[in-house]
Amino acid sequence: MPERRPKILVVEDDAALREALTDTLELAGQAVVSAPDGEAALAVLGREAVAMVLSDVQMPGMDGHQLLRRVMAVRPGIPFILMTAYGQIERAVEAMKDGAADYLPKPFEPDRLLAVVARYLPAPDEDRAGEMVAEDIRMRAVLTMADRVAATDATVLLTGESGVGKEVVARYLHDHSARRNGPFVAVNCAAIPENLVEATLFGHEKGAFTGAAAAYTGKFEQAQGGTLLLDEVSEIPINIQAKLLRVLQEKMVERLGARSATPLDVRVLAASNRDLANWVREGRFREDLYYRINVFPLEIPPLRERKADVLPLAKHFLKAHAGLVGRDGFSLSAGAGVELAGYDWPGNIRELSNVMQRAMILAAGSRIEPDNLMLPRRSRPTPEPGQELEAEPKPAQIKDMEKTMILETLHRLNGSRKRTAEELGISERTLRYKLQKYREEGEFDDECSL
C-alpha cells in the first residue's frame, strides 16, 4: 500500500515567499498545498485532508489570528503554526492560547522551519519500525526491553543525553503497541511558555481566561486512543505537576473553564535528559510524580558508547537528507568512515545528522571524504607543569583505527566481504587487498572465526 503523507497547508499572501516555503517543504519530502489568503485557506480545508496549517500573520482581509480562530472552530486540535515578525511575538504567544501550536519569528532558516514542522506534523500512516537503526549490542539490548514493554500500557520513562534519540525510541514503542493506528502526539514541555503549559496540556474552554476566544483541545485529548510523549518532562512547572499527577492517576482530564472531566484512553511516555532522582532531592520535581512516570525506565546510551551504530546511522542520514540537498546516491569513503568512528559525538545522533547534511552539501561528487565532514578538533588543554600534551594521532594510529573498523565490520557481518565493502564504502578489491596485508601481519586468518 502506498504511503499517505500528511499534507501541510501553507498560507502566505507573498507569492515569492509562498513558493519558497513550498519548495523547502517539498524538497524535504513533505506533501504541500498552498493558499494566498485566509478565505482560500478555508476553502482548501473544506476539500483537502490537511494535517497542519502554516500561516503568515499579516495578510489582507482575514489575518493569521482570525484564520486561526476560524480553523480551530472547525478543526480543533490541528497543528497551526504562525509565522510572525519579531515585533509581533507577544501577540503570537497570546495566539497560542487560542490554539496555535507554535510560532516562527521571521526571518527563519529552512532548518528551523523543518524542525518545527517535524515536531508537530503527524507521522505518515506507514510502518516506521524500519527507521530504527540499532546495530550496536547496547542499543539492541534497549530495543529488546522496548519490545517487551511496547505491548503493555505501562508508562515508560526514557532518559539519556540530549540528542540520543529518545523521541525515536518513543515512536518505536508506539509503532509496536496495540495503539499503533492511533495518534502519536509529542510535546516538548521545555518549549511551552510557562503561562501556557496548563492550557496546552489539558486544554481550555472558550472564555476560560482573557484572550481564550475559542475552545482548545489539549495534548492529552489530541492523543486519545494513542500515545502521548511528554518530552523534557522535568521542565513542567512544579505547580502544574500536581495536576499532571492527578490526570495520570485518574485517567481523566478537565479543561480550564470546564464543568466536567473527560475520560482518557492515552498511553503516556515521558522523556528527560535530566537526573530526575536528583531533581526530586532538590525539590524541583515531585517525588510522587517521579514514581508515577518511572514505572518502566529505559536509558538510551550516548552515541560514543555505541560505536557500531555510527556508520549505519551515517548511511541512514545520507538517504534521509537527500531531499534537503537536492541529490542522492551518496556514499562514504573509507577515510570518512574512520573519521566518523573515531569521533566522540558530544551532540550524539543530532550532531551526526547535522554533520552528514553538511558533508553532503560540501561534497563535490557523490563520495563523502574526510574533509567534507569538518569535524571539530578536540580542544587541547594547557598542560600542568611537568606534563606534556598527548600528541596528535600519527598516520600509524589512523591505520590501526581503519584496521579495527574493517575487522569489526567484517565480524559483525558474519564474514561477508561484499556487505562489508558496501557498508564501508570501498570496493571489494580494496577490501581484499587490505585483508591480505592484515594476513601478512598476522592480524587476520581466513580459518579463524571472525
User: 227-236 burial string, b = 16+ CB within 10 Å, else e?
Assistant: bbbbbbbbbb
Any idea which fold 129-301 has? Rossmann fold (3.40.50)
The CA–CA distances, whole Å, from 227 to 136, 182, 220 equal: 27, 7, 9
Q: Are 322 and 363 in contact (CB under 8 A)?
A: no
- Locate the domains of the chain by residue range: 7-120, 129-301, 304-379+392-440
Q: Phi and psi at residue 54, in whole multiples of 5°?
A: -120, 110
pLDDT in tens, the chain (450 residues): 344 567 899 999 999 999 999 988 888 778 899 999 999 999 888 787 788 999 998 898 898 888 988 887 777 668 889 888 755 555 655 666 667 777 888 888 888 888 888 777 765 544 343 457 888 889 989 999 999 999 999 999 999 999 999 999 999 999 999 998 888 889 989 888 888 888 889 988 887 777 677 777 889 988 889 999 999 999 999 999 999 999 999 999 998 888 889 999 999 999 999 999 999 999 999 999 999 999 999 999 999 999 999 999 999 999 888 877 778 889 999 889 989 988 999 999 989 999 998 999 999 889 999 999 998 865 444 445 555 444 444 455 556 667 777 887 787 777 888 888 777 767 777 788 788 878 877 766 654 433
CATH 1.10.8.60 fits 304-379+392-440, yes or no: yes
R_g of the chain, CA atoms, integer Å: 25
pTM over 0.85: no
CA distance 84 to 21: 14
> In CATH terms, are 7-120 and 304-379+392-440 the same topology?
no
Q: What are 436's three cell numbers?
A: 591480505
Any idea which fold 7-120 has? Rossmann fold (3.40.50)
- Beta-bridge partner residues of 106: 85
Contacts of 176 (CB under 8 A, 6+ apart): 129, 146, 147, 150, 151
DSSP states of 199-261 = HHHH-B-TTSSTT--S-B--HHHHTTTSEEEEETGGGS-HHHHHHHHHHHHHTEE--BT-SS-
